[in-house]
A = this chain, B = another copy of it.
Amino acid sequence: MFVRNAWYVAATPDEIDKDDRPLGRTVCGAAMVFFRGPDGAVTAVEDFCPHRGAPLSLGRVVEGKLVCGYHGLEMGCDGKVVAMPGQRVRGFPPIRHYPTVEQSGFIWVWPGDAEKADASKIHPLPWADNPECAFGGGLFHVKCDYRLMIDNLMDLTHETYVHSTSIGQKEIDEATPVTKVEGDEVVLSRFMNGIIAPPFWQLALRSHELPDHAPVDRWQICRFSPPSHVMIEVGVALAGQGGFDADPKVKAAATVVDFLTPETETTMWYFWGMARHFRPQDKALTAQIREGQSKIFAEDLAMLERQQCNLSAQPERKLLMLNIDSGGVQSRKVIERLMAAEQS
């Protein structure tokens, strides 16, 4: 079960712009194929040729039509058959079309009722078109329920254990987080003042030409937005200068970007990245941060996949819900509420 009437990140544009091949990808249990139509706009239809069930993702895109690689059926952007050699296709059954929008550097898809899709409700990414910001990111396939990743990101105490050599530090455990529910969003904040930055943030301070061993005020503000996005404001500022609100000259700040797109009930696509608000032109720095983040996020995967195995083996077993878990707990409640609303 998933929230279906929502915009999910399905892909990045480079995944479909390599050659004339479309992109097959399963989102919320639905096998979809993504390609650009005659006007260059991205579209998605079922990855199932209505002729004999061949996967359309093995075909080619020719002049904005998706040509099945088996018998040449030509599929249009809207799931209606355009043509097929030697056939009259007027009576051919259409296949399902999924509303798709390219915006802010991502391709978004709406797996639910097409008539309810409203592009104005796509999650805004203010940094995406801001020249003061630079973004770098990547994609992982993870064998776990996407909600385990929400739990992970809405409780950063795990950084101390899972990421002990980069962003973890004992002071995270010691700072009590505050959780707030704002409508359908959940915000968990943690502030650590007058501490020494861990290695990743020392790098950021140096890049910013700030002293990397001076005391700093550090913040983490995790925001869950349905269906499954987690944006985390993170950063450090020289101590006592206002922290999160300090002048940009004395702080290194960024937004950790996490789009957690369900593939099946127990697998997911993890679009991760970081939008930083300092030295946006420095492409080498973007690459360096991206590589560091890739290593850090890969550390989570083994833990989450094995946690999934444990939970699948004992599905009835109750887990604890501590104060540090409240971000994940509240986020799951929002998801439950939205799914219930869809059912009724």
| Residue positions of A touching B, CB distance < 8 A | 31, 47-48, 50-55, 58-59, 67-72, 84-87, 92-93, 151, 155, 157-158, 160-162, 170, 173-174, 176, 302-303, 306-307, 309-311, 313-314, 317, 319-320, 322-325
30 A-B pairs with CB atoms under 8 Å apart are: A31-B313, A47-B310, A48-B310, A48-B317, A50-B320, A51-B320, A51-B322, A52-B151, A52-B307, A53-B307, A53-B311, A53-B317, A54-B303, A54-B307, A55-B306, A58-B302, A58-B303, A67-B161, A68-B161, A69-B161, A69-B162, A72-B161, A72-B173, A84-B322, A85-B157, A85-B174, A86-B157, A86-B173, A87-B323, A93-B320
B residues near A307, Cβ cutoff 8 Å: 52-55, 70
| Cα distance, A217 to B126, chains bound together (Å) | 64
B residues near A86, Cβ cutoff 8 Å: 157, 173-174, 176, 323-324
Q: Is the CB of B31 within 8 A of A155?
A: no
Of the candidates B50, B54, B157, B310, the one whose C-beta lies within 8 Å of that of A306 is B54
Supposing A69-B162, A70-B162, A85-B174 touch, asked if A310 and B54 sit within 8 A by C-beta, the answer is yes
| Cα distance, A31 to B312, chains bound together (Å) | 13
B residues near A313, Cβ cutoff 8 Å: 31
Q: Is the CB of B85 within 8 A of A173?
A: yes
Task: With CB as the reference atom, state the residue of chain B lying closest to A310.
Answer: B53
| Cα distance, A309 to B58, chains bound together (Å) | 13
B residues near A48, Cβ cutoff 8 Å: 310, 314, 317
Task: With CB as the reference atom, state the residue of chain B lying closest to A72.
Answer: B161
Q: Kindly list the 8 A-B residue pairs having the minimum CB-CB distance in the complex, ordered from nearest.
A: A85-B173, A55-B306, A53-B310, A54-B307, A53-B311, A51-B320, A72-B161, A52-B319
Of the candidates B67, B85, B323, B325, the one whose C-beta lies within 8 Å of that of A52 is B325
| Cα distance, A157 to B69, chains bound together (Å) | 11
Shortest CB-to-CB span from A23 to chain B, Å, is 14
Task: With CB as the reference atom, state the residue of chain B lying closest to A56.
Answer: B310
B residues near A303, Cβ cutoff 8 Å: 54, 58, 69-70
Q: Is the CB of B320 within 8 A of A52?
A: yes
